[in-house]
Structure formats: structure tokens, C-alpha cells
Amino acid sequence: MDIESTDYRKEVTQRLQQAGVSPTQQRMEIAQILFARPQHLSAEQVLNIVNAQGPVVSKATVYNTLGLFARKGLVREVIVDPTKVFYDSNTSEHHHFYNVDTGNLTDIEPHSLKLESMPTLPDGTQAEGVDVIIRVRHSS
């Protein structure tokens, strides 16, 4: 998973193309960071990482790109904090702990939490996703 490797770049390129997103330079920069491993990053964090060694992608493009990736299913928006959105590069079904003290978001092991049943949805609607957030704070 070397972020520099040619193989990894090819893999990321394919992933974008499969989602119907043309792999421009800036999108590749952002995608390579996100897809390097499953992680939760805010737009600001992505902006900082991608521009760590000099300006590469503008703020507007980071926001636009993350929004695009989310619409295309490449990342998942996690809404736990009214002040910012997190983007999760793990799109498989799983849930989250949110540390309200630190703002840290971590995965819940998929097998350690199950919903007992799916309730009847409101009339005329279909489920789009289920989010479970367990809010935690430093004990005592």
C-alpha cells in the first residue's frame, strides 16, 4: 500500500473510473490519501494532508471532490458533529464510536454490533442507510 507506488496509483485510477469519476490530478491526490487505508477524515484534514508539502489542491476543490466522491459512493459521509462532516473511506457497512471529547471517530467491529430487526419504514420510503453512532467520553 505504498502511496507512492505505481501499482497503487493504477488501482486508485481504476476505482475512480469504475465510479464514473474521471481521474484528474487533484482527484487522484485526494483519492490516494483516502484509499491508502480505511480512515475518517474531515475536509480540513484532507486539505492539510494533501497540501502538506506545498499547495496542490485548493480548498474549493477539496470540498467539491469530497462531495463528488460521496455522491458516487467512493466514500461515506459520517455526520456526528454539527460543525463538520467526516468522510469515511471504508464504504462497507459498519458503525462508529464518536469521542465527544477528542472529536475522534473509530470503527465499531462489524460483528460486535447487530441490529435485531429492521423496523417498518414510513410509507412510501425506502432505506438508504443505517447509521449507528455510539457517543463516548473520557471516563470519570
Contact positions toward a second copy, by CB under 8 A? 77, 79-82, 84-85, 97, 99-100, 106, 108-109, 112-122, 124-140
**Short-list 106, 126, 120, 122, CA closest to 39:** 106
User: Among residues 2, 6, 53, 83, which is the contact residue for DNA, using CB under 7 A?
Assistant: 83
User: Among residues 8, 19, 23, 39, which is the contact residue for DNA, using CB under 7 A?
Assistant: 23
* Integer Cα distance of 103 and 32 in angstroms: 24
Rg of the chain, C-alpha, whole Å: 17
The secondary element (H helix, E strand) that includes residue 84 is: strand 84-88
Of 19-27, 31-39, 105-113, 115-123, the window that binds DNA (rule: CB under 7 A) is: 19-27
Taking the complex as a whole, the smallest distance from the CB of residue 23 to a second copy amounts, in Å, to 27
What is the edge-to-edge ordering of all strands in the sheet holding 40-42? 40-42, 84-88, 76-81
- Taking CB under 7 A as the rule, does residue 36 contact DNA? no
- Taking CB under 7 A as the rule, does residue 133 contact DNA? no
**Short-list 77, 92, 80, CA closest to 38:** 92
Q: Which residues bind DNA (CB under 7 A)?
A: 21-27, 42-44, 55-61, 63-65, 67, 82-85
